[in-house]
Amino acid sequence: MLITGYYTEYDNRRAGPMSIRHALLALLSEGPKYGLQLRQEFETRTGEVWPLNVGQVYTTLQRLERDGLVESDGSGDDGPQKGFRITPAGSDELAAWLHTPPDLSSPPRDELVMKVLIAVHTPGVDVGEVVQSHRRYLIQLMQEWTRLKEYSADRDLAFALVVDAELFRLDSVVRWLDAADGRIKRASTDPRPAVRAGFPKAPKTAEVRP
Amino acid sequence: MSVLELRDVSKTYGEGASQVHALRNVAVSVNAGEFVAVMGPSGSGKSSLLTIAGSLEQPSSGEVLIGGTPLSTMSRNDRARLRRRTIGYVFQDFNLLAGLTAAENVTLPLELDGTPVRTARAIGLQALNELGLAERAGHFPDELSGGERQRVAIARAVVGHRNLLLADEPSGALDSVNGEAVMRLIRTACQRGVAGVVVTHDAQLASWADRVIFLRDGRIVDQTAPPEGPESMLSPSRQA
């Protein structure tokens, strides 16, 4: 099943310890809570797309406590009834995290981009067909997400936001495929010999000035 | 039952060296209640497919059947009646008549078809009401927002007993939330039994359809499998 497989991959790649850490701080900024309650609320707030296990919650809470960002009620027992509250340092950390853009400066090593780049230079391969098979797969995934949105997103804002994020991400990949398709087609019908210009030297560090 | 069927349809424009093949041997069948999206780059033949399916243009070869009847066997008058009664069109730029109110725009095709004015008005108001536009019925198009105008255009396309809805980039000028609302309306019409065909280059809009057909250089090159039911799509954690 496409989406089930996709969820698993998504969990591993995206829900790293950093986002759980700050999501727990955000939940505690509303008031003191128990560990079990934190897990349930985390899953509800993220549209239940990122399931958490109890171990992840307690490990993260222990680290937050060690770093002085949360305090426990000190009952000594690590069970589900142990309560936690956020510290002033934790509130500062949460505010800083919410306002800091994630690092999107370096392009990810994208398997799909690699496949298309390789297909262009592989003899006997129809690049158009390669592109189309990926396009069809992506649109089918988008149809499934759209169906989920149709059936459940009206009642669940968090889930609708997560589904939108996924649809926009997949959409951007389809648009890249469309652009690649057009570019490859034009290159193949262009009578001029392909002159490969030297790449401009990439700057060592990207600087963004306002 | 197949509401729309294109059999081996080709369309060429011009002659000789300047001849353009807009469609080549296209075969499509759309059933009642089915929602089909046609995707393709500019110049792939999407709009030609829609105008030929809607009998606004004739194919160079091949046959178009609507409700099982070949268009080529119909007289001009029969085809005009078919367009008024059976087919609803939604265009990117809405095509509402500026001098008519929202309600008058919606009822115009019914009145042209001989429906008494009072009956037509009642049907039109009900269609506007279903699309959340009851209070805008007396407004002129330039008094409506883009999203409202497109909803009026959809009301006009589905009013009466139309069973084929053809839409060309129906949310082209709208933002994504309004665009989504338009696709939901078309989907709702299809769930009532209308056959819907939307041409678009927008993957998010196309993903509302049951089936997506990919057009390239006038040919159908691929299509998606019909999606599975909603239950099977939920992850284990959501099913729990």
pTM (two decimals): 0.77
Q: Does B228 touch chain A (CB under 8 A)?
A: yes
Is the same domain home to B143 and B169? no
| Mean pLDDT, residues B209-221 taken together | 95
The per-residue DSSP string of A25-53 comes to HHHHTTS-EEHHHHHHHHHHHTTT-S---
Interface test with B, best of A9, A10, A141, A143 (most B CBs within 10 A): A143
ipTM over 0.90: no
Q: Does A113 touch chain B (CB under 8 A)?
A: no
Closest-CA distance, A178 to chain B, in angstroms, reads 8
Residue B236 lies inside a defined structural domain of this protein: no
Of A148, A171, A178, the CB nearest to B230: A148
Residues of chain A with Cβ-Cβ distance to B230 below 8 Å are 147-148, 150-151
Contact A143 B201 (CB under 8 A): no
Q: Does A156 touch chain B (CB under 8 A)?
A: no
Contacts of residues B119-128 at CB distance under 8 Å and 24 or more positions apart, as own/partner, are B123/B159, B123/B160, B124/B155, B124/B159, B127/B155, B127/B156, B127/B158, B127/B159, B128/B102, B128/B103, B128/B152, B128/B155
Residues of chain B with Cβ-Cβ distance to A148 below 8 Å are 230, 233-234
- pLDDT of B110 > 60? The answer is yes
Closest-CA distance, A130 to chain B, in angstroms, reads 12
**Backbone phi and psi for residue B62, each to the nearest 5 degrees, phi listed first:** 95, -175
Q: What proportion of chain B, given as a percentage, has pLDDT over 70?
A: 93
Q: Where are the domains of chain A?
A: 13-99, 111-189
Which H or E run includes A136? helix A127-152
Identify the top-confidence range among A51-55, B63-67, B130-134: B63-67
Question: What letter represents residue B139's amino acid?
Answer: H
DSSP bridge pairs for A72: A84
Q: Does A171 touch chain B (CB under 8 A)?
A: yes
| Torsion sign across C-alpha atoms B55, B105, B199, A154 | negative
Residue B209 lies inside a defined structural domain of this protein: yes
Residues of chain B with Cβ-Cβ distance to A153 below 8 Å are none
Is the same domain home to B195 and B157? no
Is the same domain home to B46 and B26? yes
Among chain A residues, CA nearest to B181: A150
Of A48, A132, A142, the CB nearest to B207: A142
Strand order in the sheet with A83-86: A33-34, A83-86, A70-72
Residue B235 lies inside a defined structural domain of this protein: no
Looking at residue A10, what is its pLDDT?
Answer: 38
Residues of chain B with Cβ-Cβ distance to A135 below 8 Å are 214
Last residue of a domain, one of B162, B189, B206: B162
Is the same domain home to B116 and B153? yes
Is the same domain home to B81 and B171? yes
Looking at residue A191, what is its pLDDT?
Answer: 65
Residue with token string 């398709």: A181
The per-residue DSSP string of B121-168 comes to HHHHHHHHHHTT-GGGTT--GGGS-HHHHHHHHHHHHHSSS--EEEEE
Looking at residue A162, what is its pLDDT?
Answer: 87
| Mean pLDDT, residues B11-35 taken together | 93
Q: How far apart are the C-alpha atoms of B221 and A130, rounded to whole Å?
A: 12
| Mean pLDDT, residues B75-79 taken together | 92
Looking at residue B147, what is its pLDDT?
Answer: 85
Looking at residue A89, what is its pLDDT?
Answer: 96
Residue B12 lies inside a defined structural domain of this protein: yes
Residue B183 lies inside a defined structural domain of this protein: yes
Q: Does B43 touch chain A (CB under 8 A)?
A: no
Is the same domain home to B145 and B181? no
| Mean pLDDT, residues B37-58 taken together | 92
Residues in chain A where the model's pLDDT stays below 50: 1-17
Residue B215 lies inside a defined structural domain of this protein: yes
Residue B92 lies inside a defined structural domain of this protein: no
SS3 B33: coil
Q: Does B204 touch chain A (CB under 8 A)?
A: yes
Looking at residue A207, what is its pLDDT?
Answer: 55
For residue B207, what is the domain's CATH number? 3.40.50.300
Q: Does A184 touch chain B (CB under 8 A)?
A: no
Res. B170 pLDDT band, cuts 50 70 90 = confident
- Give the count of domains, chain B: 2
| Torsion sign across C-alpha atoms A14, A18, A24, A29 | negative
Residue ranges in chain B assigned as alpha helix (H): 46-53, 76-85, 102-112, 117-130, 146-158, 176-191, 203-206, 230-233, 236-239
User: CA–CA distance from A124 to each of A129, A130, A134, A140 (Å)?
Assistant: 12, 12, 18, 27
Looking at residue A73, what is its pLDDT?
Answer: 83
Is the same domain home to B77 and B173? yes
Please say whether the beta carbons of B127 and B158 come within 8 A.
Answer: yes
Residues of chain A with Cβ-Cβ distance to B208 below 8 Å are 143, 146, 150
Q: How far apart are the C-alpha atoms of B182 and A51, rounded to whole Å?
A: 33
Contact B222 A143 (CB under 8 A): no
- pLDDT of B39 > 70? The answer is yes
Contact B41 A178 (CB under 8 A): yes
The domain made up of A13-99 is a member of CATH 3.20.20.110: no
* Domain range for B125: 98-162
| Mean pLDDT, residues B224-237 taken together | 53
Contact B214 A135 (CB under 8 A): yes
Residue B91 lies inside a defined structural domain of this protein: no
Contact B236 A4 (CB under 8 A): yes
Lowest mean pLDDT of A154-168, B21-35, B48-62, B139-153, name the range.
Answer: A154-168
Q: How far apart are the C-alpha atoms of B174 and A141, rounded to whole Å?
A: 24
pLDDT digit string, tens, across residues B171-202: 777 788 878 888 888 898 899 899 999 999 89
Closest-CA distance, B227 to chain A, in angstroms, reads 7
Residue-averaged pLDDT of chain B: 88
Of B207, B216, B232, the CB nearest to A146: B207
Please say whether the beta carbons of B165 and B194 come within 8 A.
Answer: yes
Among chain B residues, CA nearest to A180: B41
Residues of chain B with Cβ-Cβ distance to A7 below 8 Å are 235, 237
Residues A48-61 as b or e (16 or more Cβ within 10 Å = b)? bbbbbeeebbbebb
Identify the top-confidence range among B16-25, B29-38, B187-196: B29-38
Last residue of a domain, one of B114, B139, B162: B162
Is the same domain home to B120 and B190? no
DSSP bridge pairs for A127: none
Q: How far apart are the C-alpha atoms of B6 and B215, rounded to whole Å?
A: 14
Is the same domain home to B64 and B79? yes
